[in-house]
Amino acid sequence: MPPLTSYRPSDPPDSPVHDSDSDVDLDLEELDPSTSSHVQASRLLGKSHNPEQRAPRIALRNIRMGGLRRSGNRGRGYGELGRNRDGSNDAVGLLEDDSQGQRYSNGSRNDGDEAPLLDDYGPRPQRRSFASDRLQNLAHIGSSLRLPSFMSSTSANQQDDDGIDNREDDPSTSRIIAVGSLQPTRYPPNLISNAKYTAFTFLPITLYNEFSFFFNMYFLLVALSQAIPALRIGYLSTYIAPLAFVLVITMGKEAYDDIERRRRDNEANSEEYVVLRFGDSEHQTTTVRPPRNLKSTSARKVDRQPLAQRDRLSDIQEEEEQTEGQGQNYLSSSIQEVSKKSRDLKVGDVLKLSKGQRVPADVVILKCATPEGIHAQIQTPERVKSESLLDNPSQDGTSYNDASSSSGKTNNPGSGTSHASESTSSGETFIRTDQLDGETDWKLRLASPLTQALPAEELVRVRVTGGKPDKKVNEFVGKVEVMSTRYDHFNGQSDESSLGDEGHTAALSIDNTAWANTIIASQATTMAVIVYTGPQTRSALSTSLSRSKTGLLEYEINSLTKILCALTLALSIVLVALEGFGNTEGNIWYVKIMRFLVLFSTIVPISLRVNLDLGKSVYSWFIQRDPGIPGAVVRTSTIPEDLGRIEYLLSDKTGTLTQNEMEMKKIHVGTVSYANEAMDEVVGYIRHGFAGTPSNRTFVTPSSSYSTTAGVTATRTRREIGSRVRDVVLALALCHNVTPTIEEENGRTITSYQASSPDEIAIVRWTESVGLRLAHRDRKKMVLESTETGKIVVQVQILDIFPFTSDGKRMGIIVQFHEQSTSPPLGLDSGEIWFYQKGADTVMGSIVVANDWLDEETANMAREGLRTLVVGRKRLSSGQYQDFLTNYQEASLAISGRDAGMQRVIAEFLEHDLELLGVTGVEDKLQRDVKPSLELLRNAGIKIWMLTGDKVETARCVAVSSKLVARGQYIYTVAKLKHKDNARDHLDFLRSKTDSCLLIDGESLTLYLTHFRVEFISIAVRLPTVVACRCSPTQKADIAKLIKDFTKKRVCCIGDGGNDVSMIQAADVGVGIVGKEGRQASLAADFSIEQFCHLTKLLVWHGRNSYKRSAKLAQFVIHRGLIIAVCQTMYSIAIKFEPEGLYKDWLLVGYATVYTAAPVLSLVLDKDVDENLANLYPELYKELTSGRSLSYRTFFVWVFVSIYQGGMIQGLSQILTEVDGPRMVAVSYTVLVLNELLMVAIEITTWHPVMIMCIVGTFLVYIGSMPFLGGYYDLDFLLSWGFLWRVLAISSISLVPPYAGKLIRRTMKPPSYRKVQGI
C-alpha cells in the first residue's frame, strides 16, 4: 500500500471534498512543494479545515511530530525529533494553512506511529455530528478559500521577540491583535475628524488660499511697494489696513467654521461605550503554568541549535499534563466593565454593544448573548444563503427531526443547535449598514463559533489576525485563534508559534465583522474586539478629505480682476508715454509707472472681498433663520451663491427621498383587489377562516375546510374568495424570514419584528393587522395566533428555507403543518407538507400555473410605485419531499457547480406549476413633499440623478413613485454588464433616445467608467434622469467629480448617510439631511437641512437671492473703484501727467469705508421677486445657471458707466472751479459720494427700511464730517451757493444719462422677473 494511505482518517463517507484547484492548494504547494501530494490526498480524503471541534493538543503534536509523519522521516525515532528543525518548518506551514490537523480524531489510524500518540489524549470537548462539522467548514468557504499572506508561515510579520515593542503601525501590512490586552504596535487613535485645519496648518493653508486669488496677491504687492520711499503715496496704513482687514475677516470666518466642525466632531468622539477590562484571575498565580516563549521561525534560523531529546519530549508531556490538570478549570481573567469615550478606544479593546448603539470602530464580533427570556432565533437570507449550500439530511424519512441531524442541517431553521455554553444564544446579531453602504436591509453578523463558546473571561486568550486597512466594505479575510494563556499572543510573531501552543483557529470573513458607523439592530448583547480605529476604518477610508470649497462667483470675479489689473497697467503706461519716456523730470519713467499703478490700485478694489464676505455671512444668517426650513445649518459659508447655479442634483435614495418605512398598501387575489378601507373585508375573512376549530388542540391547515365560512351564510363566490384570501394571508404569514422579539418599555411588553428586509416586516405587520399574528419563531417552527382570540391557530415545522438572492429574486420555504398540539416531533407522514414561494413577477410568472391576470395587475401596481411580490404554493407528498431532499443533498456536496446544481434541483422538484395565490403591493414611504419638490427642481432646469446602494427593483419603484421618472417616460435598464463587447450598443441606443431615464447598476457603471468614461458621461449628462443602484460610496464620489470635470457645471449632492459623505464632499455644494439614520452626512456637508423638501427653498429662493445680490454687489464695488480711478486719471492728465494723488489719506480711506460702505452693503437685502413667485415660476432659476447676472457683458457696461461718470465728475469739477486746489477737491469729492449714494438707490429693485437708513444715514454722516475736512477742503467755499449749484449740476449730468438708459432698456427688453410681476 502506498504511503499516502497511512494518512487516511476514518472520516464519514459524506465528508466534503475540496476543490484541488483552489488557491489554498496553490499556496500550500508554494510553501511546501515536497508535501503537495500529501496535501491533495488529504483534501480528497475529506480532511477538514475547521478546527473548532478538535482535541485541544492535536495541532501541537502534529507540528512536533510532523517530521516523523512524512515518508522521508519514517526511520527516525522520537529521539531525533529536535534535530533538523529548519527542515520541519514546511510541515508547520502546511499545518498552519491547512487548519492545523485532523477534525475527526477518533483514534483509528492505519499508521502505527500515530496510534499511541492519538489514543492517550486527555478529555476532549464534546463533538458535534459530522453534518454539523461540515456545515461549519463550508459556511466559511467564501472567505477561507483565498487565504492571504498573513495566514501563511512565511508572513512578513514574523519578527523576533525583542522587536515587537513600540512599533509604529504599518498600514500596508496585516495586523495581529491580542484581545483585551495592550498591543505592541501603536495604532491611530479612534477620532472622527471633519476639520479642515490643525493649529499648525491653519495659517499656511488659509494664507495660501487667500493669496492664490489674483487680487489679494495684487494688493499684497501694492502694500509692500509702500515700503519703498520713491513709490510711497500717502499713509502706509491706507494700503496695509484694508488688506489686513480682509485677511482677518476671511481667516476669522474660516476659523469659526472649523471650530464648529471640531465641536460637532467632539460630540461624536465623546460618545460613551462600555469596554470590558480584563484583570488577573485570582487563581492565576498558583495554577496556571507561566508562559513559555516559543521562538519564531526567524529566531530559530538565527539560533540553529538542536534541542535535547529529553527537553522536547518533556515539553509534550508537560503540555499534556497541563491540559488534563486543574489549571484548566480556572478562568483566565476577571472582568470589569468600564465606560470609555469613543476617542479613547484602542485596537484590542472589547466593546459591549447593545441595540441601537453606533459601532464606533471596525470590530470583529466575538460573542452575541441574547437577553434572557428571548429564545427566538433569527433566520435571514444572508444566513440561509450560506447554509442552504450545506444541506445534510439523513437518508431516512424522519431524521430531519432528529437531534443529531438537526445540528448539521442548518439550512433548516429548525435545526441549529448550539453548544451547551451558548444555550441561550446562537452567536447571531443584526446590524444596519445604511450609513455605510446605503443598503436598507439588515445584515446578519455571526460570532465565530470558536469564540462564541468561550466564557467572556476567556476572551483574553483570543488572538485576531486581520488584513491591512482597506476601503472595501464588503470584504474581510482574517482568522481568530485561542491561545493557551493570555500571555502567548506575542511570544513569537510567527503564526506557527501560536499553532505550537494551542492550535485552535477559525477563519473570519465579512460575516464576523461590524464596521464603524453601522448600528446594532437586534436585542442581542454583542461583544466585539476593535480591529481598526479612526482613519483606518472602512468608513474613513471611503471618505475623502475635507477640502476648502470656492464658489463659481469667486472664480468669475477673479477673472474680471485680471482684466482690471491689465487696464490699470495699460493706463499707467499710456499716461507716462503721453508725457514721453525721455521727458520725465525727477523720476525715472518706470518709477512713474509704478507710482501710477499704486494710484490706480483702487481699480482693483480691496474692499470687494470684504463686501462679498460680509454678504455671504448675511446670506448664511438668512438661511439659518428662515422659518420655512427649520433646523437648517450653514457649515460652509463661502459658497451660498453656488446654490443659485446648480445644474445637476445627485441624490441618495434611502432616508433622503424615502423614509425607509414600508407599508403594505394593496393585495390582489385574482378576482378582487383589496386596498385602503377594503382591507376590512380581509379582516372579516380571516376572522371567520381562523376563528372556530373543533378543539383548542386542533390547528388550522391549508386543507382545513370546516372554518372557511364559519358563522356566516355565504354564496359560493364569497366562499371561494374567502378561501383564497385565507390562503394568501396564511402564505404571507409563513413565507418570510421575520422573527418576533419582545421588548420591555415603561413596564409594558412590546412585540417588535426583526428581519433583513423592511419589506418582509411590512407584510408580517399587515398579516397581524388583518388577524394573523406571528407569535413565535425559531429555527424549528413557527407559531401563528389569532389577534382576536389570542389562541394559537397555526403551528408549522420548518423543513427548508431558500433565501432571497439578487439573482434569484425570490424566496421559498417548505413547512409541515401540525394538525394537533402534539409535543413529539412529527414524522414526514404525519402532517401536510407545503412549499410556499414569493418573488418578483419577472421570475414568478414562469413558475406559477398559467393565468390571465398576473402581468396586468403587477404592471398596474408598478405604475403606482408599489413594490410587487407574487405569492404561490405547492403541496408536496412525503415521497416527493424525500426525493427532493436526497437530490438536494447530493447537489450540495458537489465539488464544482454546487450553486447551479442546487438551483437545478429546486427548479426540478419544486418550482413549477405553483398555485398562484395573489400579488402584494408594498409602498416605500416617501419623505414629505418629495413629489412636488422633484417636479419643481426639474422645471427649474436641474437634471436629477439618484445614486443608491439599494437593489435595482427597489430603485425603479422609488423612481416611479417619487415621480423622478415622469409618467410615460421610458426607463432603459443596463444591469450585470460584465463585458465591454455590447456596452457600446447601450450607448448607441441612449444617444438616439435622450428623453429616456437610464437605470444602471454599480457593476455596469464600473465597466463604463473604466473603458468608456468619456462616451458614457457625454451621453448620461444629456439625459433628464439617471438612476444608479448598487453604488459604492467611492463610485458616488467618482460620478460627482466626473460630471463636474466634464460639464464644468455646478453639481449639488444630497444625502443622509455615512455612505454619502464622499459624494457630498466631492460636490460643489454638499447638502446633508439630519435624520434618524444619524448626522454623519450632515456634519460633513456644506449645508444641513432636515427634509428633502427644504432643498427647493434652499436653491430656488436662497440660492437665487445669494447669487443675484452678490453679482450686483460685486459689480457695484468694481464700479466704485473704477470711478475714482477715472477721476485720478483726469486729474493726472490735467497736471501734466504727474503721478500725484487726487484724494489723499482720509479721503481715500473714507470713500471706501465710511461714506459708501453701508449703502453698498445694503444691496444684500435686495430681491427682484418675492418667494411665492420664485416657487411659482421655477423657470426663473434656469436663467441663473447661465451666469448672466455677472458676465463680461454686464462688466463692460459697468466699466463704460464708470468711465462716463468719472470723466464727467472730474472734468466738470476742474472746468467749473480750478484745475488743482481745495475747491476742486471739495466739489469733486462731494459729487463723487453723492453719485454713489444715488446709484445705489437707482439699482435697488425692492426697498428695505435698512437700505433707506443706510443711504440717508451715510449722507448725514458725510455732511456732518465736512467741518472736519479743512485740511482737504476750502471750508468757506462750502458755505457758498457756488458750491451747491456746481454739485447739483455735475451730479445731474453724471446720473441722468445712465438712469435714462436703464429705463429705456427695461421698457424695450424687460427682464423675466418683471414679466412675471406684470410690471
The set of catalytic residues is 652
Contact 1248, 1168 (CB under 8 A): no
Euclidean distance between CA atoms 602 and 803, whole angstroms: 73
The pair phi, psi for residue 219, each rounded to 5°, is -70, -30
Calpha distance 96→532 (Å, rounded): 25
Judging by DSSP bridges, how do beta strands 185-186 and 167-168 pair with one another? parallel
Q: 3-class DSSP state for residue 985?
A: helix
Nearest to 765 by CA among 868, 690, 662: 662
CA 389/CA 756 separation, integer angstroms: 19
The Cα–Cα gap between 885 and 873 comes to 18
Helix, strand, coil shares, percent, the chain, to 5: 50, 15, 35
Dihedral sign, CA of 591, 595, 600, 606?
Answer: positive
> Hey, CA dihedral for 822, 828, 831, 836, is it positive or negative?
positive
Which amino acid, one-letter code, is at 146?
R
Phi/psi at 221 (5° precision): -65, -40
List C-alpha distances in Å: 249 to 246, 257, 617. Answer: 5, 12, 11
Question: Bridge-partner residues for 276, per DSSP?
Answer: 337, 350
Q: What is the DSSP letter of 461?
A: G
Other CB atoms within 10 Å distance of the CB of residue 174: 19
Residue pair 738/760 in contact by the 8 Å Cβ criterion:
yes
Q: Give the number of other Cβ atoms within 10 Å of residue 820's Cβ.
A: 12
Angstrom distance (rounded) from CA 18 to CA 25:
10
Q: CB-side exposure of 1288: number of CA atoms within 13 Å? A: 5
Would you tell me how many other CB atoms lie within 10 Å of the CB of residue 341? 14
Give the Cα separation of 490 and 481 in Å (integer). Answer: 12
Task: Please report, in angstroms and rounded to a whole number, the separation of the first and last CA atoms in the chain.
Answer: 106
* The Cα angle at residue 534 between residues 428 and 637, in degrees rounded to 5: 120
Q: Tell me the C-alpha distance between 716 and 894, whole Å.
A: 51
Under 8 Å between Cβ of 954 and 1029? yes
Let me know: does 130 contact 12? Beta carbons within 8 Å. yes
For β-strands 781-786 and 462-466, DSSP reports them as: unpaired
Other Cβ atoms closer than 10 A to 543: 26
Strand 792-802 relative to strand 810-817, pairing: antiparallel
Hey, is 52 helix, strand or coil? helix
Where is 1157: in which H helix or E strand?
A: helix 1157-1161
- Secondary structure class of 481 (helix, strand, coil): strand
What the block records as the C-alpha cell of 1242 is 437707482
Please report the sign of the dihedral spanned by the C-alpha atoms of residue 184, residue 185, residue 187, residue 189: positive
β-strand partners of 1028:
947, 1000
Beta bridge partners of 745: 748
Asked if residue 560 lies in contact with residue 1118, where contact means CB atoms within 8 angstroms, the answer is yes
Cα–Cα distance, 190 to 730 (Å, whole number): 49
